[in-house]
Amino acid sequence: MQASKIVEMAEKTDASTGEKETAARLSALMRHLFLYDRGNLLRVIEESGLSMTQCKALLQLGGIGEENEPCQVTELAETFGVSIPSMSRAVDALVCEDLVTRVEDPDDRRVRRVAITAKGKELVDALLVVRQAGLEAFAESLTAAQRRKLDAAVESLMDRDDIAKTFEHLKGVKA
């Protein structure tokens, strides 16, 4: 989907004033966190030579923990709202860099799936470490009271399986 279409859809949201304020607070925090460590995560991505589509595909294939299920190019394209040819080109480049490989589907030999390689997993892990280090530096900049409030707010979201699962994995990431 083109960026202009995404912006157009976002402008037509039916969010309430309270929801918009919550989103604005989250957006301000996310922007600050993204740039807090002078953009180190962006620098690592840039130095990797990956396009944004390649980076998204690699992070998706990297999974959380050991859950690195191979998937079809069409699934990746659908997940990120890009065309199949665009995702196919992105995957081709990742294959050339030995970051992913194509594997035969165990249920249908005609289907090829994409799986992350050890080299690809190393890059994903490096990205996680850089992001974690930036967030730890931000956490260190907070007062004890600010950290308690932030922890309480985030803790209240841990009943969501998607967030709790990621948290459990990231607790073990060493920055």
Rounded CA-CA distance 109/10 in Å is: 41
Q: CATH number for the domain including 27? A: 1.10.10.10
How many domains does one find in the chain? 1
- Model confidence pLDDT, tens digit, residues 12-67: 677 788 888 988 998 999 888 888 888 898 899 999 999 999 999 999 999 775 56
Q: Are 1 and 83 in contact (CB under 8 A)?
A: no
Rounded CA-CA distance 134/16 in Å is: 32
Rounded CA-CA distance 111/27 in Å is: 40
Of 138, 123, 129, 140, nearest to 62 by C-alpha is 123
Q: Over the range 66-86, which residues count as b (16 or more CB within 10 Å of their CB) and which as e?
A: eebebbbbeebbeebebeeee
pLDDT of residue 38: 86
**147 within some domain:** yes
- Model confidence pLDDT, tens digit, residues 90-143: 999 999 999 999 998 888 888 889 999 999 999 999 998 998 999 999 999 999
Instruction: For residue 18, give both structure tokens.
Output: 């309270």
β-sheet bridge partners, residue 167: none
Q: Taking residues 64-84, report their average pLDDT.
A: 85
Matching residue, tokens 């690809």: 120
**29 within some domain:** yes
For the chain, how many helices (H) and strands (E)? 9, 2
**133 within some domain:** yes
**39 within some domain:** yes
- Model confidence pLDDT, tens digit, residues 2-11: 566 666 666 6
**5 within some domain:** no
- Residue 131 domain boundaries: 11-170
